[in-house]
Structure 1
């Protein structure tokens, strides 16, 4: 079994690597959240054991980003934070199990084996491509024809929704609900304003506009550009 261990305490990490290795498992290790995120997204693992308190990005945010990117590797949180609310936070962030330190290795191993027995949900691509645009859901970087495009968070979310629906017309109502969380029309030009800014940034190098306005219907991101 291939296991990812993300733990900033050197002694605990060494124990995990050594003990899991002796149990016959291949262990990949990281001592901070950013490295753990990169490894979790870049390689397939059967289970990830992740500490809650990590430098860089903490364990909760790490798992949230994994789940947002579609990575479904089972996650066991390993932490000193054992309160009910802490456990709830861990599970709601996308964790699958929660073990409080100090722990017995036999219990850790049993929980890992239980997670590994769950039917695999598969891995989803973490990078979207359409119309010469590349959008990385993990690093939150966007580029067009190899040139970086700097977007604000709402612009990123708007482009992500368009790219997930590339080649299909999306309505203003869909954008308000999915990007802004509005289930009513705020009677403002919020969509049009952000769409204009997004277009300006995507087309800053003089390339054709990849977003079409369909009068009376909505917007369409062309899946391919000539």
Structure 2
């Protein structure tokens, strides 16, 4: 199982992350930079989720420690600090991704999978499955019962996002940011158009019924339907 060192001093946030991830990851929570270094010296981890604002030494000291000790590990900074200078410093010290609080758990997990895949830590990470539907991220292809499903780029990325978050309610704003980008000038109402098109593509296979609308909130890929 993928081993994750969670460096977060806020107890509630740490507990919530651990609970959310523990079905798929082995998560070790620590609450300071000093504690993180002790664990890193004692054993190997595949990924670190790192807060920057910690008691005592800050999270940057952990990045510097990794650099000095030449420890190869994926690092996702998870912090309330939004300043560009902090982001650039973290990336220059070896961080692979930078997520600002508040954040969505499903987005954090998706970013974790991207980093782990890039480091070769996840096997068969190119295949996402749902019942008899398979999405191959390396080939950018979708099949249902072995039959190729033709879809455009927007439909593909929308379906991929749902497969990464099976059983999780995705708010319309989340989907918009993922598919259109937060700098897009379009209205979030465009998501309704994209959802309609995705359902139309999946309907010949009967898979449109699994995409459930939660009125006034968003959408969910529900395998119980």
Count matched residues. 120
Which residue number corresponds to residue 54 of structure 1? 54
Distance 1:114 1:43 in 2: 23
Deviation at 1:14, TM superposition (A): 0.6
CA contact 1:41–1:71 (8 Å) conserved in 2: no
Distance 1:66 1:41 in 2: 10
Q: Superposed, which structure 2 residues align to 1:72-151 within 5 Å?
A: 72-119=72-119
Distance 1:95 1:77 in 2: 7
CA contact 1:4–1:45 (8 Å) conserved in 2: yes
Which residue number corresponds to residue 159 of structure 1? none
Local SS of the residue matching 2:118:
coil
Which residue number corresponds to residue 11 of structure 1? 12
TM-score, length of structure 1 as denominator length: 0.51
Distance 2:48 2:54 in 1: 14
CA contact 1:41–1:66 (8 Å) conserved in 2: no
- Which 5+ residue runs of structure 2 have no aligned equivalent? 122-225
Which residue number corresponds to residue 22 of structure 2? 21
Distance 1:14 1:102 in 2: 15
CA contact 2:74–2:119 (8 Å) conserved in 1: no
Distance 2:90 2:119 in 1: 21
CA contact 1:52–1:59 (8 Å) conserved in 2: yes
TM-score, length of structure 2 as denominator length: 0.51
Bigger-Rg structure (1/2): 1
Local SS of the residue matching 1:29:
strand
Deviation at 1:56, TM superposition (A): 2.7
Distance 2:20 2:45 in 1: 17
User: Cα RMSD (Å) of the superposition?
Assistant: 1.5
